[in-house]
Structure 1
């Protein structure tokens, strides 16, 4: 791997670290100051970008994409840590006297936790339901249930592929606009738009489109590297955060943030500016590499503190949540994620040999 590619990968890990820190700090009783929802949107964008780049690289090398290997890699990457997290969460719920239902576990492992949380709700009242944090995993998996098949059919026709993706992005925006201004937020259940796949999948598609543009349309991608693109992206992102109208926030905000991220992305993961160097710093790269487990466990820690230690001062609760979340995530990454990733790589490599 050349130094430029390595630097970009590190900056990507660092940007993923920023996304999880936004979520973590927001949930640590500072949601009125820190935009945790933006962290999720960034994470969706990065997911779409990275996976599309990897699939394009595989296609360019072999003229095909192994869909079975795609799903096996995701299984080894996500499922072992998720299983352990769920088991620990069930133990905590048992200690708190929460009577959980089997349908809740099914919603997690069969990836309908977002809709289950919206329309039914997870068990728990005084203890914030730890399994509810898996809603974003459901959004991603719904997208990736279809995307590899669509990619395999469409990548040979990049213009049509890009047009199709942009059409879906516009369609989802129009669907959100209908729900907000046609149906009305007062008629929708809480988090109907924020957590549902049909209203949030476009956040992943923006990253997918950007990866496709970089790989197949370098002339167009060069425009995103210009300073005016960065300035426009920063202004759009600020506008998305400063406009507090709830109708805007539930309809236009995700689209504005997706466009802003696309305009800023080249500068964020570049190799020759101060921001990318900060993102590629060891601390940010480390946080990015444990971001999956950190995302899972921080909400469990929040629930534990809220249930058993509610009277602690805010600074103490904040520090405790930061430290405990990082320790649990680090342990999960070292003891669960990394070993199973190596196991998956050996399995897939053995499959290639045979």
Structure 2
């Protein structure tokens, strides 16, 4: 089975992850006493981070050049993220220090100058820190540096255990969710042999899913520390075994479309929630949710296909030009 077909499963997971996050932020999920909204948020983000770690690490393993990686990722994230930050911080004035923390993506660290409409930017901060860390590993040790990721991931988790951090928005207490996805990529690209792939393909997702749900709940206790690895294992069971009905369900067109606009959905939705669409008492607020979701998807579609994709195209062209320039420079010096 081709990589493209297998990665269709990942698109399905991405679609599910953003739907779960939106449900967490926009809908009441059961009685408040059950804390299901918090659990849904942790579930959605753990899946989202796992996918990010997998795709970035897979890219680094199969492509050459740190500049190519950084340019492509920055042109994927920054255009919409910076535009959103510019708009909301002009509408909700903050201090200069807060501006800098948002623009340079360290707003998830104390004194954490995030405001309600930028509270979700913490996850982009974690993503950006991961990109920098991955690039440093490649710069220092070439692709072999990625083999340090499992040890780093386990080290982060042990740090969480020592600090008693079941969940956090601070990078060094949350990045193991991304690194677990990186480990999955190392497995997928056969960095640890074929036996582990065979064993993961035999694991039933119905066994892993309940464990992950427990690990996402505040009453899950020590299980919270296993959340990164359970999320990676859950995705891995469908990545390595395409024969289940659920794996085939993940490849449906609706989830693929939702996945394609997921970044815009995530970035934009708090601004709409802060507007008239999210105002009023409980009855009024939730009666507006269908309209809010409709407008959100329209905005996300426009952003994805008429703004972000153009920026991504510019990044690809810039990366290609730099690659050609570096190739000519290397050729010149080799001849000399």
The corresponding residue for 2:72 is 73
2:153 to 150, 154, 169: 169
1:130 to 111, 117, 123: 117
Judge conservation of contact 1:107–1:113 (CA < 8 Å) in 2: yes
Query: How far 1:312 moved relative to its partner?
Result: 4.6
Q: 1:327 corresponds to which residue?
A: 298
* Match of residue 149 from structure 1: 136
Aligned partners of 1:78, 1:175: CA distance in 2, in Å? Answer: 29
Root-mean-square deviation (Å): 2.5
Distance apart, 1:277 and its partner CA: 2.0
1:352 to 318, 323, 327: 323
> CA 1:244–1:10 in structure 2 vs 1: closer, same or farther (change >3 Å)?
same
The 1:52/1:305 distance shift into structure 2, 3 A limit, reads same
1:234 is matched with 209
Does 2:105 align with 1:111? Answer: yes
Q: Within 5 Å, which residues of 2 pair with 1:199-348?
A: 199-215=173-189, 216=191, 217-228=193-204, 230-241=205-216, 244=219, 248=221, 252-253=223-224, 255-269=225-239, 270-305=241-276, 308-310=279-281, 312-313=283-284, 315-348=286-319
Shift of 1:289: 1.1
1:99 aligns with 2:93: yes
User: 1:86 offset after TM fit, Å?
Assistant: 2.0
Quote the residue 1:198 is aligned against: 172
TM-score (norm 1): 0.80
Structure 2: how far apart are the matches of 1:87 and 1:12?
Answer: 31
2:58 paired residue number: 53
Confirm or deny: 8 A CA contact 1:142 1:197 kept in the other structure. yes
- Counterpart secondary structure, 1:84: helix
Greater mean deviation of Cα atoms: 288-297 or 264-273: 264-273
The answer (yes or no) to whether the contact 2:160–2:173 under 8 Å persists in 1 is yes
| Contact 2:54/2:181, CA 8 A, preserved across alignment | yes
TM-score, with normalisation over the residues of structure 2?
0.84
Relative to structure 1, the CA distance from residue 313 to residue 83 in structure 2 (aligned partners, 3 Å threshold; closer, same or farther) is: same
Task: Confirm or deny: 8 A CA contact 1:113 1:135 kept in the other structure.
Answer: yes
Q: How does 1:32-47 map to 2 (within 5 A)?
A: 32-34=35-37, 35-47=40-52
With CA pairs under 8 Å and 6+ residues apart, which has the higher RCO, 1 or 2? Answer: 1
C-alpha change, 1:303 and 1:12, in structure 2 (3 Å) is: same
What is the DSSP-based 3-state SS (H/G/I as helix, E as strand, rest coil) of the residue aligned with 2:320?
helix
- 5+ residue gaps, structure 2, are 30-34, 326-336
Q: CA deviation at 1:51?
A: 0.7
